[in-house]
C-alpha cells in the first residue's frame, strides 16, 4: 500500500474475499487479508497481509486494487534496505507473551474455556470481538465463575525456564477481575489464585485492597495443580490445596492464565548481532547506575527488553533512554534543523465574513451515502457563504494548493471543511489557511464521514439532512471566529533541580551533559540524600563508592552550581521564566530559571511498633546498612537474625507498598549469611515482592537456607525482650501455631514516607496524593512531569523506588525538561481563555478550579486584584469559563456565543 | 430528523468521546441519525446554559459525554 495515497476508506477490506484470524484480537475474531491492525492505529492506513493475500500467494483476485478509489494498492512493493547514519541507537523492541500451549496441566490447547490473559483482555475491550461483553469461547454464554491463575510462565523453573517475575501480571489480573465484575454485575464470581500478590506500584496497593473489599474479588493463595473438564459442559474442575493444607475441588466456567513476559528468540539473535550482553532471563543487561545503557557504548535500551515492567516504568525508561542518547549527541543538537518560511498574514479585522465551504466526497465514503451536491447547494444558500466547492478528496495535496489559491483569489476570510474528523485533519487544513495568508483559527471543520456517512449508511436521506445541519452549524460558528494570536514566550535556559539525592544528582548531571546551566538545591549540608545510608544494591554494587563518583562528577562540573544548606523561600513566574528566592545560611538570592525538577525524595519511617528503640538489637533496615557500611564487629557475633517486613507499609493509614523493602531485606539477609553461613536467618513477610529479575535473589535466599515465614496484617509477629533475650513470636502459616524465634538482631523493613512538602507544592502549584507523594501529570503516560508546564518530577518524591529506577526517572524528567530548554521561544495555543477584567468579580473560582494553575490575581496595574490568565499555562479546557459566575472569561475558539450559535442552528426546518 | 424520533443534542469532549464517536465510524457501527454533535474542548467547558438552550431549541434530550 502506498501510505501517502491511502485515505483509510476501508473499501479494500470490505471487498477483500479472504478472511484470516485477527491476531490483534488474539485470534478470537477474523479480519480481512487487507486490514488496519487495530482501529486506533496511527497513521490510519491499510496494509496487505502478504502471507494471506490471494493475489500475492496465487496471482489471482486483485479486487482491492480494482476497488481502491485512490490507486493506493501496489502489489509490487518489496522489502527495501535503508542505510541510516545515526549517532546512537535506542532499543525498544518489547516482549512476547508466554505461550502456555506446552503446559499439560492447564490444557490451554484442548479446553476452549481456558484462555490467556491477553485473550481475556480482548474480550473485555469495547473494541474487541464481543464489544466488551464477556462470554466464554465454548458456548458464548456469560460466565458466572472465572478463575485467574497467576505466574503462568513466570517464577517457574519446572514447567518453563522463566524463573523471573514478570512484574505486571498481578496487577493486570486484579484489573481484569474488577472490570469483569463491573461489567457483569454481582452475579459474577472472580477468584485469583496466586503465590505472592505483587502490587508494589503507585496506587496499586489501594487498588488491590479495593478489589478485595469493594469489588469482592476472591484472592486464594494456592497454585492449582490440575484442571479437569466437567463432562461436555465446558465447565472446568479445579483441584488445589488451600493454605491450611486442605485439598479442595471447585468448578469454574472459565479459567484465565496470567501469562508472563519473555524475550522472543529473534530478539536474542539481534542482541547477539549487536554484541550486547543479556541477563540470565534473556533481558538486556544493564547496570544499576546506568539503567538504560546496554553493554555496548552508544546503544541504549528501554521498555520490557530492559526487564519485565509495566507501562509507567516503560515510559520512564523510554524518556531516560532519550536523555542518555541526547547526552552523547548534545553537540549535534539542532545541526539539522530547518526553519519554516514566514508567510505574511492578511488582516481580516473589520471585513464582512466571506465564508468558503468545501464539501468532501471522500471518494465514495461520503458521496456513497450523503448527497454531496445537495449539501453543497444548500451551503451556498447560507448567510455569509461566498463560495462552495465539492472535492473528490479535500485532503489531497493538489486540492490543498487549489484551496490556498481559491482563498486568495476569492478573498475568503472564513473556511469550513465538511469532511472526516478534525482530530486527524484539522492541522492539515489549518496549514493550508496559513499558506494562503489566512489566520489558521478562521476555520471550522465538520464531521460528515466518521460521525455521519459511515454510521448511517442505510439511511442516506437522513444522513444528507444531518450533513446539511452540521454544515449550517459550522457556518454559524465560523462566522463568529476571529483571528487568534499565539503568544510568544522566551525560555530561560537555566534549570533548577531541587534535592541533592541520587535522583537530583543524576538529573543535574544529565542537564549539564546536555549543555544546560543547572542549579542543584539541597537543604542539608551535604549531597547524597538517602543513598548515603545504603550498603549494597540488589545487584551487589557498593552504593557508597558509586555515590561518591556521582557527587564528585557533579561537584567538578562547571555547568552545575551546588547550593547546600539552602531553602527555597519563594517561587514566582511560570514555564520558561521562573524566579526562585533561595536562602542559604541566612543569605538570600534570586535565581532565574526556565524549568524546575522536583527531586526532594522521601524519608524512612521511625517505627513505633516491634519494641523499636527499647533494645539496641532491634534496628531499622537502614541502621543495619549503616552497620554493614562500617563493618560493625557485632555482625560477626550473630547467631540468629529476624527480618520483619511491611513495618508501616500496607497498613490502613499508609495503604501503599514501599517497593524496595523485600529486595533490600533479602539482600541484607544474604549479606549476613556471607558473614556467617551458619547464622539462622528468618524473614517474616506478608508477600514477597521481588519483582522482575530480583526474583533470583529470593530463590538464592531460599537455597541458602534463609527461612521465610508469612504473617497477615491481623496476626503480626510480636517482639519482646525476655531475660536479656529478644524473642520474636510468630504464628507459622502452615502449622497454624505460634513459634518463638530467638533473635540476636531484628531488622525492621520500615516504610518509606514522603515529606509532604505543602510549601513546595504551593510554590509550583502541583498536587499531592493522600499519602503525600506528588501527583504526576499522568499515571501511565506522564510519570516524570507535572500537569503544570515547566515543572518535572523524579525519584522518591514521586513514589518509593530503588536506585536504578530513581536514576531512570531522573534522566526521564530531564528528557521532558529538555523539550522546553532546547527551544529559545515557545508559543501558546490560540484557543485559550482570556479574562474581561471589567466583568471580573475577583471571586477566585477560576484560580481554584484550574488544573494547570493558569489563572491568578493580577498584582499590579489597572486591573490589580482581578483574575488574569497566563496564556503560557492555559490548555484551553474551558473549565474556568464554565465556572465563572460573572461571564467574565472567554474561551477563544469555543466561546459562549460560538457554541450558542451552533445550538441555535441545530435543527432549523430544512 | 424523523418525526417520531427524539432529537438528541450532544456535547462531546474532543479528547475522548468525540474520538470514540470517530472510532464508531472507523468500526462501521451503526446508530440512528437523529443526533447532532457539538465538539467541545473538554467537558469542563460545559455550561448548564448550553443544556437549557438545547432543550429550548427543541432537543428532546441533551447528552454530555467526556
In a domain, B11, yes or no: yes
Distance from CA of A466 to the nearest CA of B (A): 7
In a domain, B15, yes or no: yes
In a domain, B34, yes or no: yes
Contacts of A459 in chain B (CB under 8 A): 32-33
How far lies A740's CA from each of A727, A732, A884, B44, in Å? Answer: 6, 10, 66, 60
Q: Which residue of B has its CA nearest to A467?
A: B36
Residue A166: domain span? 96-262
Mark whether A360 and A501 lie in a shared domain: no
Contact B36 A882 (CB under 8 A): no
Residue after which a domain boundary falls, among A801, A824, A847: A824
Confidence of residue B3 (pLDDT cuts 50, 70, 90): low
In a domain, A909, yes or no: no
Preferred mutation among B13, B33, B66 to probe A, highest tally of A CBs within 10 A: B33
In a domain, B30, yes or no: yes
Preferred mutation among B34, B44, B53, B55 to probe A, highest tally of A CBs within 10 A: B44
Tell me which DSSP letter residue A773 carries: P
In a domain, A115, yes or no: yes
Mark whether A525 and A656 lie in a shared domain: no
The full DSSP string for A209-277 is HHHHHTS--EEEE----EEEE-TTSS-EEEEEE-TTS-EEEEEESEEEEEE-EE--HHHHHHHHHHT--
pLDDT tens-place string over residues A523-533: 999 999 999 99
Mark whether A507 and A577 lie in a shared domain: yes
Tell whether omega for the bond before A43 is within 30 degrees of 0, i.e. cis.
yes
Contact A906 B22 (CB under 8 A): no
Residue after which a domain boundary falls, among A55, A85, A115: A85
Tell me what ipTM this predicted complex has: 0.96
Mark whether A582 and A698 lie in a shared domain: no
Residue after which a domain boundary falls, among A39, A55, A85: A85
In a domain, A273, yes or no: no
Statement: residue A722 has pLDDT above 90: no
**Taking Cα atoms as reference points, which of A85, A89, A103 lies closest to residue A151?**
A103
Mark whether A175 and A242 lie in a shared domain: yes
What is the reported pLDDT for A908? Answer: 62
Instruction: List the single residue in B25, B42, B58 with the smallest CB-CB distance to A450.
Output: B25
Q: Tell me what the mean pLDDT of segment A396-408 comes to.
A: 93
Q: State which H helix or E strand residue A803 sits in.
A: helix A803-821
φ, ψ for residue A716, nearest 5 deg: -75, 160
Q: Does B42 touch chain A (CB under 8 A)?
A: yes
Q: Does B52 touch chain A (CB under 8 A)?
A: no
Mark whether A206 and A160 lie in a shared domain: yes
In a domain, A317, yes or no: no
Instruction: List the single residue in B7, B41, B54 with the smallest CB-CB distance to A903.
Output: B54
* Residue ranges of E strands in A853-897: 855-857, 867-869, 889-891
Q: Tell me what the mean pLDDT of segment A210-216 comes to.
A: 96
A542: its cell numbers? 557498593
**Taking Cα atoms as reference points, which of A787, A805, A701 lies closest to residue A201?**
A805
Q: Tell me what the mean pLDDT of segment A178-187 comes to.
A: 89
Residue B20: domain span? 1-41
Contact A455 B29 (CB under 8 A): yes
Cα A551 from Cα A556, distance rounded (Å): 9
Query: Count of alpha carbons within 13 Å of A693, Cβ hemisphere only?
Result: 20
What is the reported pLDDT for A909? Answer: 44
| CATH number of the domain that residue A865 is part of | 3.30.70.20
Cα A763 from Cα A589, distance rounded (Å): 16
Mark whether A122 and A250 lie in a shared domain: yes
Least confident among A117-121, A396-400, A496-500, A803-807: A396-400
Statement: residue A4 has pLDDT above 90: no
Mark whether A14 and A137 lie in a shared domain: no
In a domain, A891, yes or no: yes
Confidence of residue B1 (pLDDT cuts 50, 70, 90): very low
Cα A642 from Cα A707, distance rounded (Å): 9
Cα A443 to its chain centre, rounded Å, is 33
Distance from CA of A479 to the nearest CA of B (A): 16
Preferred mutation among B45, B59, B61 to probe A, highest tally of A CBs within 10 A: B45
In a domain, B53, yes or no: no
Contacts of B22 in chain A (CB under 8 A): 421, 423, 447, 450-451
Compute the Cα dihedral for A259, A262, A266, A267 and give only its sign.
Answer: positive
Reduce the DSSP state of residue A622 to 3 states and report it.
helix
Residue A648, by phi and psi: left (phi above 0), alpha (psi -120 to 50) or beta?
left
Based on the structure, what is the number of domains in chain A?
6
In a domain, A578, yes or no: yes
| CATH number of the domain that residue A811 is part of | 3.50.50.60
In a domain, B27, yes or no: yes
pLDDT tens-place string over residues A303-326: 999 999 999 999 999 999 999 999
Cα A628 from Cα A626, distance rounded (Å): 5
Cα A578 from Cα A589, distance rounded (Å): 14
In a domain, A764, yes or no: no
Mark whether A725 and A616 lie in a shared domain: yes
Q: Does B65 touch chain A (CB under 8 A)?
A: no
Statement: residue A250 has pLDDT above 60: yes
In a domain, A280, yes or no: no
The full DSSP string for A709-772 is EE-BTTB--EEEEETTEEEEEEE-TTT-SEEEEEESEEEEEEPEEE---HHHHHHHT--B-TTS
Q: Tell me what the mean pLDDT of segment A677-693 comes to.
A: 97
In a domain, B58, yes or no: no
Based on the structure, what is the number of domains in chain B?
1
Mark whether A612 and A574 lie in a shared domain: no
Q: At what angle do helices A621-629 and A661-675 cross, to 10 degrees?
A: 40
Distance from CA of B49 to the nearest CA of A (A): 9
Q: Tell me what the mean pLDDT of segment A243-252 comes to.
A: 92
Mark whether A115 and A225 lie in a shared domain: yes
Statement: residue A415 has pLDDT above 70: yes
Mark whether A610 and A737 lie in a shared domain: yes
Amino acid at each position: 500500500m502506498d501510505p501517502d495515497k491511502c485515505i483509510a476508506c476501508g473499501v479494500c477490506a470490505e471487498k477483500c474475499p479472504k478472511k484470516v484470524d485477527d491476531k490483534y484480537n488474539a485470534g478470537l475474531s477474523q479480519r480481512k487479508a487487507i486490514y488496519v491492525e487495530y482501529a486506533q492505529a496511527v497513521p490510519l492506513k491499510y496494509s496487505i497481509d502478504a502471507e494471506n493475500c490471494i493475489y500475492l500467494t496465487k496471482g489471482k483476485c486483485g479486487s482491492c486494487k480494482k476497488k481502491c478509489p485512490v490507486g493506493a494498492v501496489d502489489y509490487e512493493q518489496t522489502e527495501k534496505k535503508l542505510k541510516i547514519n545515526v549517532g546512537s541507537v535506542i532499543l525498544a523492541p518489547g516482549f512476547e507473551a508466554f505461550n502456555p500451549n506446552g503446559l499439560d496441566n492447564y490444557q490451554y490447547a484442548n479446553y476452549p474455556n481456558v484462555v490467556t490473559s491477553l485473550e481475556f483482555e480482548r474480550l473485555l475491550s469495547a473494541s474487541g470481538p464481543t464489544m466488551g461483553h464477556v462470554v466464554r469461547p465454548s458456548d458464548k454464554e456469560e460466565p458466572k465463575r472465572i478463575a485467574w491463575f497467576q505466574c503462568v510462565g513466570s517464577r517457574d523453573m519446572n514447567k518453563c525456564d522463566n524463573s523471573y517475575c514478570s512484574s505486571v501480571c498481578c496487577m493486570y489480573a486484579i484489573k481484569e477481575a474488577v472490570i469483569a465484575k463491573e461489567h457483569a454485575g454481582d452475579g459474577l464470581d472472580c477468584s485469583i489464585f496466586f503465590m505472592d500478590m505483587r502490587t508494589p506500584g503507585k496506587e496499586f496497593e489501594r487498588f488491590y485492597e479495593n478489589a478485595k473489599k469493594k469489588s469482592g474479588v476472591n484472592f486464594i493463595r494456592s497454585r492449582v495443580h490440575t484442571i479437569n473438564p466437567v463432562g461436555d459442559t465446558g465447565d472446568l474442575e479445579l483441584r488445589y490445596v488451600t493454605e491450611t493444607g486442605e485439598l479442595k475441588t471447585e468448578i469454574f466456567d472459565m479459567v484465565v492464565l496470567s501469562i508472563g513476559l519473555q524475550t522472543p528468540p529473534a530478539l536474542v539473535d539481534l542482541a547477539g548481532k549487536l554484541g550486547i550482553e543479556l541477563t540470565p532471563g534473556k533481558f538486556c543487561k544493564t547496570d544499576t547506575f546506568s539503567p538504560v545503557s546496554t553493554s555496548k557504548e552508544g546503544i541504549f535500551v528501554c521498555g520490557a527488553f530492559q526487564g519485565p515492567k509495566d507501562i509507567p516504568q516503560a515510559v520512564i525508561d523510554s524518556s531516560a533512554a532519550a536523555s542518555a542518547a541526547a547526552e552523547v549527541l548534545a553537540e549535534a543538537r539542532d545541526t539539522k534543523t530547518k526553519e519554516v518560511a514566514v508567510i505574511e498574514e492578511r488582516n481580516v479585522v473589520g471585513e464582512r465574513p466571506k465564508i468558503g465551504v468545501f464539501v468532501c466526497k471522500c471518494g465514495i465514503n461520503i458521496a456513497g451515502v450523503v448527497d454531496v451536491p445537495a449539501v453543497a447547494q444548500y451551503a451556498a444558500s447560507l448567510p455569509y457563504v461566498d463560495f462552495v466547492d465539492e472535492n473528490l478528496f479535500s485532503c489531497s495535496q493538489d486540492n490543498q494548493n487549489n484551496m490556498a489559491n481559491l482563498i486568495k483569489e476569492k478573498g475568503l476570510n472564513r473556511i469550513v471543511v465538511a469532511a472526516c474528523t478534525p482530530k486527524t485533519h484539522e492541522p492539515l487544513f489549518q496549514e493550508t489557511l496559513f499558506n494562503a495568508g489566512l489566520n489558521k483559527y478562521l476555520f471550522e471543520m465538520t464531521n460528515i464521514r466518521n460521525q455521519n456517512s459511515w454510521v448511517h449508511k442505510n439511511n442516506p436521506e437522513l444522513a444528507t439532512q444531518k450533513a446539511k445541519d452540521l454544515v449550517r452549524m459550522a457556518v454559524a460558528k465560523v462566522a463568529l471566529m476571529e483571528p487568534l494570536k499565539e503568544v510568544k514566550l522566551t525560555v530561560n535556559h537555566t534549570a533548577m533541580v531541587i534535592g541533592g539525592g541520587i535522583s537530583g544528582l543524576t538529573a543535574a548531571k544529565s542537564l549539564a551533559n546536555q549543555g544546560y546551566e543547572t542549579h542543584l538545591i539541597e537543604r542539608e549540608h551535604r549531597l547524597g540524600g538517602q543513598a548515603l545510608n545504603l550498603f549494597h544494591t540488589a545487584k551487589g554494587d557498593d552504593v557508597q563508592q558509586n555515590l561518591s563518583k556521582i557527587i564528585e562528577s557533579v561537584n567538578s562540573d562547571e555547568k552545575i552550581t551546588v547550593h547546600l544548606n539552602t531553602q527555597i523561600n519563594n517561587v514566582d513566574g511560570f514555564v520558561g521564566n521562573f524566579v526562585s528566592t533561595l536562602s542559604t545560611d541566612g543569605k538570600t538570592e534570586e535565581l532565574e530559571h526556565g524549568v524546575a525538577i522536583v527531586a526532594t525524595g522521601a524519608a524512612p519511617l521511625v517505627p513505633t511498633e516491634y519494641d523499636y528503640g527499647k533494645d539496641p538489637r532491634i534496628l531499622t533496615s537502614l541502621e543495619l546498612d549503616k552497620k554493614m557500611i562500617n563493618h560493625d564487629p557485632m555482625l560477626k557475633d550473630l547467631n540468629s537474625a529476624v527480618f520483619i517486613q511491611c513495618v508501616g507499609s500496607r497498613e490502613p493509614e499508609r495503604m501503599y507498598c514501599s517497593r524496595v523493602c523485600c529486595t533490600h531485606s533479602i539482600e541484607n539477609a544474604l549479606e549476613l549469611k556471607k558473614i556467617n553461613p551458619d547464622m539462622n536467618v528468618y524473614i517474616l513477610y506478608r508477600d514477597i515482592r521481588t519483582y522482575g529479575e530480583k526474583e533470583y535473589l529470593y530463590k538464592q535466599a531460599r537455597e541458602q537456607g534463609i527461612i521465610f515465614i508469612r504473617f497477615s496484617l491481623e496476626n503480626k509477629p510480636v517482639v519482646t525482650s525476655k531475660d536479656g533475650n529478644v524473642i520474636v513470636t510468630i504464628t507459622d502459616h502452615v502449622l497454624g501455631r505460634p513459634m518463638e524465634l530467638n533473635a540476636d538482631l531484628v531488622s525492621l523493613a520500615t516504610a518509606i514516607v514522603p515529606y509532604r512538602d505543602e510549601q513546595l507544592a504551593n510554590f509550583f502549584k502541583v498536587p499531592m496524593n493522600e499519602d503525600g507523594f506528588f501527583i504526576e501529570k499522568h499515571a501511565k503516560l506522564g510519570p516524570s512531569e507535572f500537569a503544570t508546564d515547566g515543572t518535572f518530577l523524579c525519584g522518591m518524591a514521586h513514589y518509593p523506588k530503588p536506585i536504578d529506577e530513581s536514576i531512570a526517572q531522573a534522566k526521564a524528567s530531564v528528557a521532558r525538561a529538555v523539550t522546553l530548554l532546547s527551544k529559545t521561544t515557545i508559543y501558546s495555543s490560540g484557543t485559550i481563555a482570556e479574562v474581561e477584567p471589567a466583568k471580573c468579580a475577583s471571586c477566585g473560582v477560576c484560580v481554584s478550579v484550574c488544573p494547570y494553575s493558569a489563572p491568578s490575581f493580577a498584582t499590579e496595574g489597572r486591573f490589580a486584584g482581578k483574575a488574569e490568565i497566563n496564556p503560557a499555562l492555559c490548555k484551553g479546557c474551558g473549565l474556568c469559563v464554565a465556572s465563572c459566575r460573572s461571564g467574565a472569561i472567554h474561551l477563544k475558539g469555543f466561546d459562549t456565543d460560538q457554541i450558542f450559535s451552533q445550538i441555535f442552528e441545530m435543527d432549523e426546518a430544512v | 430528523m424523523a418525526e417520531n424520533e427524539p432529537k438528541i443534542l450532544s456535547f462531546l469532549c474532543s479528547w475522548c468521546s468525540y474520538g470514540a464517536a470517530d472510532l464508531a465510524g472507523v468500526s462501521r457501527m451503526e446508530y440512528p441519525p437523529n443526533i447532532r454533535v457539538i465538539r467541545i474542548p473538554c467537558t469542563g467547558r460545559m455550561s448548564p446554559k448550553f443544556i437549557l438552550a438545547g432543550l429550548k431549541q427543541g432537543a428532546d434530550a441533551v447528552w454530555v459525554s467526556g
